[in-house]
Chains A and B, each alone.
Chain A
Amino acid sequence: MRNLSGTLATAAFAAVLMVSAGGCKKKVPVPTPPPPTAPATTPEPPPSAPLSLRINSFTGEPHSIERGQAATLRWSVGNSTDISIDQGLGAVAANGSRQVFPSQTTTYTLIAKGGGNQDTRSVTIEVSSSVPPPPPRTPGVAFSGSDLLSREAQDVYFGYDKNDINAEGRDTLTKDADVIKRILTADPTFTIVVEGHCDERGSEEYNLALGDRRALAVKEFLVQLGVPDERMKTISFGKERPVCTDQNEACFQKNRRGHLAPAQ
């Protein structure tokens, strides 16, 4: 039932188009008249081989549009008198063009018939819905120092019951210092909290003191690398905030760390 009514609607729309096409001579050329009839005396030419039906071209420009914009279909067909385009465009002349306003990606198919032959050609117009606008620019800070810090600053790791920064830690902090300096330069209000953490094995009391020393060791090293002292605070979390709770050295090592965080 749905198919039937759809077909009926398409037929009715095609009829309307045909009427309007007939009344719009400038845009749609009148079909070429048949060649003049030869003088009667002239012998009938031998029946020529039927000219082959051919779609010379069928294009749609531009290939992709935003919803609401127009695209232009152009075609050229040889040796056919029964030419139509689907998607409700209906019968058309052998050569022509038509503006279309598809609301979604649509494939148009040109069908040319004649002499028992048929040729088809399709073009597809890609339609994208309108692109959402960018977020409003934050006044003042054009970037998030917190995001940059959490994305780029690496934790520095310590040995068991140790508070000295090893060679690997110095490399890490050298890179971290560059990140921090970029952030502090871009945002003059930004301050860093250097956190000292421990694994779960020492006592709570001693670990709080050890974490305090680790945080301070990290801060002192960053100061040597030119990070301003007054832009950093330290805090120890002892073993209160582990990132890993398994009972093995790999996990313990992850927890024995200096971590850089934005001040609240």
Chain B
Amino acid sequence: MKIKLFFASLAALTTGAIFVRSQDQIVGNVHGTLQKPKMAVIDFRGAGDAQKLMATFNTTLWDELSNSGVLEMVGKSFYPLDVPQQPQDFRAPTMAAGARRGDSSRTQKNGPWLTDWSGPPTNANYLTFGYTAVQDGRLLLRGFLFNVGQPDVASAQLIGKLYFGPLDDAGAKKIAVEFAADILQQFGVKSLAGTKIFFVSDRTGNKEIWSMDYDGSNQQQMTSYKTISKEPVVSADGRMFAFTSLIKGSWQIMIHSADTKKKLPFYNPVSSTIETPEFTPDEKHVLYAASLNGWVNICIADVNGGGMNQLSHVKSQEVSPKVNPKTGRDILFISGRSGNEQLWHMNIDGSDAEMVTNGEGYVANPSWHPNGQMIAFAWTKGFEPGAYNIFVMDLASKKMTQLTSNNGKNENPWWAPDGVHLVYQSTHGRSPQIHTMLADGTHSQQLTTQGNNTQPVWANGIN
């Protein structure tokens, strides 16, 4: 129950903007009830050659919706046997002769109907259905989303759309992901399809920057400096990534194109250590931590490295500046200015610095929720130094939830663009690997296995 409440409040924060923008009744329904909407998804069938791709399609569609964390998926064993494939399959029941109005026991069933799904034993709020076929050598999907609580077909339909893809497994996966993204958007969830996770891997023998799809597929090497490259971060438009690299005896910031992987010009000031780069949401500036006057402090510069300005001037280490993605005006960072390193918050001009955490333990790796209100970070609170766990917090109220608990080191949480997932790094007692989970700590999935894989960041795809 606690998790549900947490999730509902999280979802409310996440989707506030969408609620305002969209008049969609679903969003109101979801957040009015504090319950996850119940979703039924039929097993889609394919006409002709499309049928052999349906196993891939159905698995992908189910997983995409289920892993979103915002829906309660109704088990298929509860479904009616008479399943619709298109809206015209629905046949409203007719009143039996002599029956009084409203006496459902006296209605005449004429085929599949909305109440088959909204009533027991299915008890769904929504139904996803449709079919596939082959058209001009392509795989075609007719996909529908119905609100089965509505009285008639016309008002029930929320999505009725055609999708096209190549006539193979990849095509089946593609149209399933696109359809799922449209469905999830109705519930205020941004699809993760197309998003990328950048991370550090030493599988080649050197720490290099790598990227992979949100589900762990398509892992590819992004840098080849053959030194130590780490601390990746990706610009909001997905086009650039910055990282820290040990070049000719000092740590420097590098910026590369995410598209071509080529190096982009960036001027580093003279310093033994420049690290933890961060883009502002408008991609016009870069923040970093640099050792300029004997201490590593927070700085900001133009995206090409020019116009550098030091934001903090303290005799302690300060690293990991992270800009609020909503406002672009305030930052989280890690500072040892009060003793043990803690999470701090200040304006992007360096004013109004205040400690966010309470001074206990050691804090690392701040990450902003896309809504600019929730945050995530790693903290040793309650454990020995080095034994990090992942926490999420509402920054304004400082209300906090601990998501992991002492199962090895759990570090580097990073909010997914959908605002309901986190990617993080966990040892589970062995080598560190990258995992994703829902923001309530459930549905943990390991995405990497080769070598040591660390410091994941979840990036928007190139748009």
Task: Mark A residues whose CB is within 8 Å of B.
Answer: 160-161, 193, 200-206, 208-213, 215-216, 233-236, 240, 263-264
B275 on interface, CB distance cutoff 8 Å: yes
For residue B291, CB closer than 8 A to chain A, the reply is: yes
Report the separation of the CA atoms of residues A63 and B384 in the bound assembly, to the nearest whole angstrom.
71
**Chain B 315-344 interface 0/1 with A at a Cβ cutoff of 8 Å (1 = within):** 001111000000000000010100011000
B250 at the interface (CB under 8 A from A): yes
Chain B residues positioned under 8 Å from A212 (CB to CB): 272-273, 291, 296, 317
B44 at the binding interface (Cβ < 8 Å): no
Q: Can you identify 23 A-B contacts, CB atoms within 8 angstroms?
A: A161-B340, A161-B341, A201-B362, A202-B362, A203-B362, A203-B364, A203-B388, A205-B319, A205-B334, A206-B319, A206-B334, A206-B341, A206-B364, A208-B273, A208-B319, A210-B317, A212-B272, A212-B273, A213-B294, A233-B249, A235-B249, A236-B251, A236-B272
For A193, list chain B residues within 8 Å (CB): 249
Kindly list 9 other residue pairs between chains A and B, CB separation below 8 angstroms, not including A205-B289, A205-B320, A208-B319.
Answer: A161-B341, A200-B386, A201-B385, A202-B362, A203-B341, A206-B317, A206-B320, A206-B336, A233-B272
- Among A193, A205, A213: residue with most chain B CB under 10 A: A205
Q: Check A204/B455 contact, CB under 8 A, given A209-B289, A216-B291, A236-B251.
A: yes
Task: Please name the residue on chain A nearest to B296 by beta carbon.
Answer: A209
Q: Is B250 a contact of A235 with CB atoms below 8 Å?
A: yes
Interface size class of B (residues with CB under 8 A): 35 or more
Which A residues are CB-close (under 8 A) to B378?
A: 203
Q: Which residues of B contact A210 (CB under 8 A)?
A: 317
If A212-B296, A213-B295 touch, whether A204 touches B230 (CB-CB below 8 Å) is yes
Cβ of B365 < 8 Å from any Cβ of A? Answer: yes
- A209 near B364: Cβ-Cβ < 8 Å: no
Report whether B364 and A161 are in contact in the complex, using a CB–CB cutoff of 8 Å.
Answer: no
Question: Min CB distance, A149 to chain B, in Å?
Answer: 17
- Which of A206, A234, A235 gathers the greatest number of chain B CB atoms within 10 Å? A206
In angstroms, how far is the closest chain B Cβ from the Cβ of A46?
102
In the assembly, what is the distance between CA of A234 and CA of B273, in Å?
9
**CB distance A209 to B228 under 8 Å?**
no
Q: Which residues of A contact B272 (CB under 8 A)?
A: 212, 215-216, 233-236
CB-based nearest A residue for B363: A203
Task: Write out the residue numbers on chain A whose beta carbons fall within 8 Å of the beta carbon of B244.
Answer: 208
Smallest Cβ-Cβ distance to B378: which chain A residue: A203
Give residues of chain B (225-274) contacting chain A, Cβ–Cβ below 8 Å: 228, 230-231, 244, 249-251, 272-273
Say which residue of A160, A204, A213 sits within 8 Å of B317 (CB atoms): A213
| B276 is an interface residue with CB less than 8 A from chain A | yes
Q: Which residues of chain B are within 8 angstroms of A213 by Cβ–Cβ distance? A: 291, 294-296, 317
With a CB–CB cut-off of 8 A, which chain B residues contact A200?
386
Which residues of B are found within 8 Å of A204, using beta-carbon distances? 230-231, 454-455
Would A209 and B319 count as touching, CB distance under 8 A? yes
Task: Compute how far the CA of A228 lies from the CA of B153 in the bound complex, rounded to whole angstroms.
Answer: 85
**Complex contacts, B318 vs chain A, CB 8 Å:** 209
Which residues from chain A contact B336 at a C-beta distance below 8 Å?
A: 161, 206
Residues in B with CB closer than 8 Å to A161 are: 336, 340-341, 362, 385
Contact (Cβ within 8 A) A209 B291: yes
Q: How does the 8 Å CB contact mask read for B403-428 relative to A, with 1 for contact and 0 for none?
A: 00000000100000000000000000
Residues in B neighbouring A215, C-beta threshold 8 A: 272
A201 to B362, CA, bound (A): 10
Bound-state CA distance A200–B244 (Å) is 19
Contact B295 A208 (CB under 8 A): no
Residue pair A209, B249 in contact (C-beta under 8 Å): no
With a CB–CB cut-off of 8 A, which chain B residues contact A202?
341, 362, 364, 385-386
B419, chain A: closest CB distance, angstroms: 24
> Which residues of the partner chain A approach B251 to less than 8 Å between Cβ atoms?
208, 236
Indicate if the CB atoms of B231 and A209 lie closer than 8 Å: no
- Measured between beta carbons, the chain A residues less than 8 angstroms from B454 are 204
User: Chain A residues near B250 (CB, 8 Å)?
Assistant: 235
Q: A161, A208, A211: which has the most chain B beta carbons within 10 Å?
A: A208
Residues of B contacting A203 in the complex (Cβ-Cβ under 8 angstroms):
334, 341, 362, 364-365, 378, 388, 411
Which residue from chain B places its CB closest to the CB of A205 in the assembled complex? B319
CB contacts (< 8 Å) of B291 on chain A: these are 209, 212-213, 216
State the CA gap A46–B364 with chains docked (Å): 118
Question: A234 to B271, alpha carbons, bound, how many Å?
Answer: 10
Q: How far is the CA of A233 from the CA of B273 in the complex (A)?
A: 12
Closest-CB distance, B163 to chain A (whole angstroms): 43
For residue B252, give the distance in angstroms from its CB to the closest CB of chain A: 12
Q: How far is the CB of A163 from chain B (nearest CB, A)?
A: 8
How far, in Å, is A241 (CB) from chain B's closest CB? 9
Q: How far is the CB of A205 from chain B (nearest CB, A)?
A: 4
Contact B249 A264 (CB under 8 A): yes
With a cutoff of 8 Å between Cβ atoms, the chain A residues found around residue B295 in the complex are 213
A205 touching B294 by the CB < 8 A rule? no
How many angstroms between the C-alpha atoms of A200 and B385 in the bound complex?
10
Q: Quick one: which of B275, B362, B385 contacts A209, CB cutoff 8 A?
A: B275
**A216 to B230 alpha-carbon distance, docked (Å):** 23
| A-side contacts of B320, CB under 8 Å | 205-206
Chain B 338-388 residues near chain A, CB threshold 8 A: 340-341, 362, 364-365, 378, 384-386, 388
Question: With A161-B340, A201-B385, A202-B386 as given contacts, are A209 and B365 in contact (CB-CB < 8 Å)?
Answer: no
- Taking the nearest CB of chain B, how far is it from the CB of A196, in angstroms? 9
Is A205 in contact with B249, judged by CB distance below 8 angstroms? no
Contact of A160 among B230, B289, B385, B411 (CB under 8 A): B385
Residue on A nearest B228 in the bound complex, by CB = A240
**Which residue of chain A has its CB nearest to the CB of B244?**
A208
Given A212-B291, A216-B291, A235-B272, residue A205 in contact with residue B385 (CB < 8 A): no
With A216-B294, A235-B249: A205-B276 Cβ-Cβ less than 8 Å: yes
Closest to B317 in A: A209
CA gap between A205 and B235 in the complex, in Å: 19
B261 CB to closest chain A CB (Å) equals: 23
Q: Which residues of B contact A234 (CB under 8 A)?
A: 272
Please give the distance in Å from A216's CB to the nearest CB on chain B. 6
